[in-house]
Structure 1
Amino acid sequence: MATILVVDDELGIRALLSEILSDEGHNVELAENAAQARAFRETRRPDLVLLDIWMPDVDGITLLKEWSASAQLTMPVIMMSGHGTIDTAVEATKFGAMAFLEKPITLQKLLRAVEQGLARQAPRPAQPAPVLHQHAAHPVRDFGIDPATTGVPLATAPLMLGPQPEQVFVLDRPLREARDAFEKAYFEFHLAKENGSMTRVAEKTGLERTHLYRKLKQLGVDLTRNKRSGGN
């Protein structure tokens, strides 16, 4: 059983997450703002934090920075937001967040993120991930709840903490092109990881197979390159 701190100013979100995680056997602690979260962290170290970004007093990114600067970021943190962007995800991972979940959060994505978060070591606050450069091309670490994602909208992001190959995404171009480039790299990653098995890729990415096929065709993904002999 893990101790999970849920930080969100919305009572409904706190209650829902508490109910789900308690049913999974976890001990859930609740904070409705940054002040309560700070007070909890001063006395205890949770095994995982679910942290909302947009809060009325101090936003989640600022709190994350505070924990990082004070060497209190010794637990995995999953950021939550209903208004996520690539920039927000990049900033969150720069300061030590390991995941980004877009609201409304589905049960499957929440449980998968929590499971992967608890299985990973916490980020080292003294060594934030190198995610931004001063040029148009921005190396962005492989994201994902398998290992996925900062698509637009940001769908499900546990961010890989171990050494991962980096992709370079040129952000100085139209949003549609940048999003398609990221999504193509994301699906190609999963196809290679699953040896071309469409069934397993559909399960990993949370897409129905017909939708997945249409998406891959639309993005121009080569389905034969990673296809297993006799695979699904």
Structure 2
Amino acid sequence: MANILVVDDELGIRDLLSEILNDEGHNVELAENAAQARTARGRSRPDLVLLDIWMPDTDGVTLLKEWSIGGLLTMPVIMMSGHATIDTAVEATKIGAQAFLEKPITLQKLLKAVEAGLARSHPRKPVVALVPAPADLAVDAAMTGGLALPAVADQGPQGCQSFELDKPLRDARDEFEKSYFEFHLAKEGGSMTRVAEKTGLERTHLYRKLKQLGVDLSRGKRSAA
């Protein structure tokens, strides 16, 4: 994964972004002002920087300009602010910022911006593997444009899960939900952030639900190792 530097004078923002990005498997370094950001930039050479605009000593736009003039803007920088004007965002983009995130930052926008920034920092050629379908296309293969779908067994450890229906509804529902979450944990490599996004649940609610169902939270990470 990537080394990401988060620069923000608000402790709550730093902790939140650090938790999310760590959960995604990234290495995160934190700085609460421009002075710490300069030191971290020189020491760790981050792959991407999340930079707050309004800070007490030197604002983010000034620091961005300093890096640009000094030839140090060698990594994608995403600006963040809850009070910046459109002119400020445009100025930062002209200097070299890749994107601008308005606070409060949503999980989806953060992950998309980070993914786009890292793709720019480390571009990769897309690899597309097409599996030709047999002459007599199955219905589901025909619906996917003539490409054969992967076997159910390839869709995760719960791909062939069966359920006993001759039991109370509550028990059957709990059994299904446990298998459902175990499948997504394994598929996402144990990332609670991505499982929350895929299932449409808040992280706090998700943790509580998994604990209630007795789901082994380490199972997904072991499967990905």
Shorter-chain TM band: 0.5 to 0.7
* CA deviation vs aligned residue, 1:18-68 (integer Å, no higher than 9, x gap): 000000000000000000000111222100000000000000000000100
- Deviation (angstroms), 1:87: 0.2
How many aligned residue pairs are there?
122
Conservation of the 8 A alpha-carbon contact between 2:3 and 2:47: yes
Aligned partner of residue 105 in structure 1, secondary structure: coil
Aligned equivalents of 1:102, 1:43: Cα separation in 2: 28
Aligned partner of residue 5 in structure 1, secondary structure: strand
Aligned partner of residue 28 in structure 1, secondary structure: strand
2:103 corresponds to which residue? 103
Mapping of 1:138-149 within 5 angstroms? none
Mapping of 1:183-222 within 5 angstroms? none
2:127 corresponds to which residue? none
Aligned equivalents of 1:44, 1:9: Cα separation in 2: 20
2:60 corresponds to which residue? 60
Q: Report the aligned-residue RMSD.
A: 1.1
Which runs of 5 or more residues in structure 2 are unaligned?
123-225
Query: Letter of the aligned partner of 2:116 in structure 1?
Result: Q
Aligned partner of residue 120 in structure 1, secondary structure: helix
Mapping of 1:12-161 within 5 angstroms? 12-121=12-121
Conservation of the 8 A alpha-carbon contact between 2:47 and 2:121: no
- Deviation (angstroms), 1:89: 1.1
Mapping of 1:217-232 within 5 angstroms? none
Runs (4+) of structure 1 exceeding 3 A deviation are none
- Deviation (angstroms), 1:83: 1.0
Aligned equivalents of 1:23, 1:57: Cα separation in 2: 30
Aligned partner of residue 25 in structure 2, secondary structure: coil
Structure of higher CA gyration radius: 2
2:5 corresponds to which residue? 5
Query: Letter of the aligned partner of 1:20 in structure 2?
Result: I
Conservation of the 8 A alpha-carbon contact between 2:53 and 2:84: no
Aligned equivalents of 1:11, 1:117: Cα separation in 2: 24
Q: TM-score, normalised by structure 1?
A: 0.52
Which runs of 5 or more residues in structure 1 are unaligned?
123-232
- Deviation (angstroms), 1:85: 1.8
Aligned equivalents of 1:100, 1:57: Cα separation in 2: 21
Query: Letter of the aligned partner of 2:82 in structure 1?
Result: G
- Deviation (angstroms), 1:115: 0.4
Aligned equivalents of 2:63, 2:84: Cα separation in 1: 17
2:129 corresponds to which residue? none
Aligned equivalents of 1:23, 1:35: Cα separation in 2: 27
Task: Among all aligned residue pairs of Structure 1 and Structure 2, give the percentage whose two residues are the same amino acid.
Answer: 83
Aligned partner of residue 54 in structure 1, secondary structure: coil
Aligned partner of residue 89 in structure 2, secondary structure: helix
Q: TM-score, normalised by structure 2?
A: 0.53
Aligned equivalents of 2:79, 2:7: Cα separation in 1: 10
1:176 corresponds to which residue? none
Aligned equivalents of 1:21, 1:40: Cα separation in 2: 17
Aligned equivalents of 2:43, 2:15: Cα separation in 1: 23
